[in-house]
Amino acid sequence: MATNRPELERRRLGDTGVSVSAMGLGCAPIAGLFTPVGPELAAATVEAAWAGGIRHFDTAPHYGAGLSEERLGSVLRGLPREAFTVSTKMGRVLVDHDGPWDLWAEPNGRASAFDFSGDGAREAHLGSLERLGLDRVDIGLVHDADDHLDEAAAGTYAALAELRSEGRLGAIGVGMNSTDAAAELLSRGDFDVALIAGRYTLLDQSALGGLYPLCRSRGVSVIAAGVFNSGILAAPDAGATFDYAAADGALVAKARAIAEVCARHGVPLRAAALQFPLAHPAVASILVGARTPAEVDDALAMFAHPIPEALWHDLKRTGLLPEEAPTP
């Protein structure tokens, strides 16, 4: 499989030897998030990301009850192992389950269940290696521990720290949504990375006040996921979603106002949404989910789209971005 574009810039996480490309591929959608994808389209999507220079791939057992890891691994196994970085998550284990399941549209007889014990983390780690078909994963993240901080600190974190000390993980961190909960868990251990979804975007800068300064002070690198806030910053139309629920009218109106400023400068809203988070010094990379090669190609194009400094100035002048938010 040939690389069609140069690799994206790589950035090191904390004080580790692990690096990620400035944009990574979020692999929840290829597991049939909301609508079926199938193995062929999933593989083509991962191949498009590789051809576009993406070298970080993020997955989890939770995504499609293992389908994401299986589909991602089917492509990565044919690529040079030292050339890419894989992150996956611990805090859930797979269990037998019949019938449809939650957000995932391709039932496979399994579901995930929370398990923040140390044994659960080690079980999840081994299961991920088996499904991916790789000898190691590079980054292990405590997954969605927002409401389970004590259990995660005593169990999952302790197990990940042990796996890191044994050289079986290169970096460890949290993969969460709540800034307050993430900050609390980060303060309880020695972490390298925080993957935070949707909390530092053109619509939501809640990470700016507490979480990001904490990460900077502790040497924790941030991977900013959910840069489109689940869709509204890609297409702020009626019926748009914000954090996987219907967006209220005020949010849609604000997203449209941002889009109008972008349009005056000849910049698609998607480009501004992708490039904004990377300007913060705490952020090492962004993560973009995609289910088709066309979505990957669009993300890469938007990531490279020129944006004049005047656009950011206008967003701040009109009160659509806070003055203290770093901009590219």
List the one residue out of 220, 174, 282 whose CA is nearest residue 14.
220
Residue 58 corresponds to which tokens in the numbers above? 């993020």
* Helix extents (H) in the chain: 39-51, 67-76, 118-132, 149-151, 158-165, 179-186, 211-218, 249-264, 269-275, 293-304, 309-317
Check if the beta carbon of residue 74 is closer than 8 Å to that of residue 59.
Answer: no
Check if the beta carbon of residue 144 is closer than 8 Å to that of residue 177.
Answer: yes
Pairing of strands 221-225, 283-289: parallel
Rounded-to-integer distance, Cα 280 and Cα 328, Å = 8
Total Cβ atoms within 10 A of residue 292: 16
Catalytic residue ranges:
58, 63, 89
Backbone dihedral angles phi then psi of residue 87, each to the nearest 5 degrees: -115, 140
Rounded-to-integer distance, Cα 209 and Cα 41, Å = 40
Q: Which amino acid is at 186?
A: L
| Residues ≥6 apart with Cβ < 8 Å to 177 | 144, 146, 196, 197, 198, 199, 243
